[in-house]
Amino acid sequence: MINYDILLQILFAGLVSFVLVFASIPTILKVSHSKNLFDEPGKRRVHKQRVPTLGGLGIFIGIIFTYSIYLDWFDYRAIPFLIPSMLIVFSIGIKDDILVTAPIMKLLGQLLAAFIIVGFGDLRITDFHGFFGLRPDYFVSMSFSILFVVFIVNGFNLIDGVDGLAAITGIIVTVGFSFWFLINGDATMPVLGAILIGALIAFLYFNVVSKTQKIFMGDTGSLLIGFIVSVFAIRFMEYNVDSLRPALNHTMISAPAVALGILIIPVIDTIRVFFLRLAKGQSPFAADKAHIHHRLLTLGFSHIQIALLIGLLNVCFILLSYLLRDFGTIRLMILNLMLGIAVFQLPSLAIRIRKKRMLKDKHSRKVSLPNLP
Evaluate if residue 372 carries a pLDDT over 50. no
Residues 236 and 162 sit within 8 Å (Cβ to Cβ): no
What confidence score (pLDDT) does residue 278 get?
82
Evaluate if residue 50 carries a pLDDT over 90. no
Evaluate if residue 45 carries a pLDDT over 70. no
Evaluate if residue 199 carries a pLDDT over 50. yes
Evaluate if residue 263 carries a pLDDT over 60. yes
Residues 76 and 194 sit within 8 Å (Cβ to Cβ): no
Average pLDDT over residues 257-264: 97
For 172-198, write each residue's pLDDT tens digit.
Answer: 999 999 999 999 988 899 999 999 999
Evaluate if residue 301 carries a pLDDT over 90. yes
Under the banding of pLDDT at 50, 70 and 90, the label for residue 42 is low
Evaluate if residue 338 carries a pLDDT over 50. yes
Report the share of the chain in percent with pLDDT over 90.
67
Average pLDDT over residues 325-331: 92
What confidence score (pLDDT) does residue 368 get?
59
What confidence score (pLDDT) does residue 43 get?
57
The secondary structure of the chain, three-state, reads CCCHHHHHHHHHHHHHHHHHHHHHHHHHHHHHHHHCCEECCCCCCCCCCCEECCHHHHHHHHHHHHHHHHHHHCCCCCCCCHHHHHHHHHHHHHHHHHCCCCHHHHHHHHHHHHHHHHHHCCCCCCCCCCHHHCCCCHHHHHHHHHHHHHHHHHHHHHHCCCCCHHHHHHHHHHHHHHHHHHHCCCCHHHHHHHHHHHHHHHHHHHHHHCCCCCCCCHHHHHHHHHHHHHHHHHHHHHHCCCCCHHHCCCCCCCHHHHHHHHCHHHHHHHHHHHHHHHHCCCCCCCCCCCCHHHHHHHCCCCHHHHHHHHHHHHHHHHHHHHHCCCCCHHHHHHHHHHHHHHHHHHHHHHHHHHHHHHHHHHHHHHHHCCCCC
What integer best gives the mean pLDDT of the chain?
89
pTM score: 0.92
What confidence score (pLDDT) does residue 231 get?
97
Average pLDDT over residues 197-223: 95
Lowest-pLDDT range of 92-101, 140-149, 161-170: 92-101
Evaluate if residue 371 carries a pLDDT over 70. no
Under the banding of pLDDT at 50, 70 and 90, the label for residue 373 is very low
Quick one: CA torsion of 346, 347, 348, 351, rounded to 10 degrees?
A: 120
Average pLDDT over residues 304-313: 96
